[in-house]
Amino acid sequence: MSTIYLNTIINADIHYVFDLARDIDLHQQSTSTSHETAIAGRTSGLIEENETVTWRAKHLGVYQTLTTKIVSMEKPVQFIDVMQKGAFKSMRHRHTFKSVNGKTLMTDVFEFESPLGIIGKLFNAIFLTGYLKSFLLKRNEMIKTIAESSTRDGIAIF
């Protein structure tokens, strides 16, 4: 199993950042380079516990689908999505949020396992982990940019 850990400090209210992180429409904007589109389940708005979303995206030159389910949610401190169907052997993404000195610490723990045994492990080590880390960093940067540009003194402006 491969694991990616990311911490992002965002100068915005924890509730606002939490909602941005589970916003299907924002996710689609942040992943436009891979043409990621929600095609089934929850396809817009804020995803909730026990809901699924199926994504269609072009990664590594191939269109793929991935269905995830929110298996746990404690507003505004955490939610976990787990792959139900897709190219991975397994995938689990834990999102946590913590207020720190008026800012929000957003932490991602993204665990995944590729199929094909040792070949999959080598592919993870050589390429896939870096590719997925870059993908998550871009998404987090968009969340940070939107959260910080639409807040003033830590208060969300809608």
Please provide the CATH number assigned to the domain covering 2-123: 3.30.530.20
Cβ neighbours of 105 (radius 10 Å): 16
Q: Helices 14-21 and 129-149: crossing angle, nearest 10°? A: 130
Confidence of residue 34 (pLDDT cuts 50, 70, 90): confident
Model pLDDT, residue 116: 84
Closest CA to 103 of 5, 6, 17: 17
Among 79-88, 105-114, 117-126, 130-139, the minimum mean pLDDT is found in 117-126
Average pLDDT of span 25-34:
90
Q: Domain extents for the chain?
A: 2-123
33 DSSP 8-state letter:
G
pLDDT in tens, 124-139: 888 999 999 999 999 9
Q: Average pLDDT of the chain? A: 92
Model pLDDT, residue 61: 86
**150 pLDDT more than 80:** no
**157 pLDDT more than 70:** no
d(CA 147, CA 103): 11
Predicted TM-score of the model (pTM)? 0.90
CB 17 within 8 A of CB 97: yes
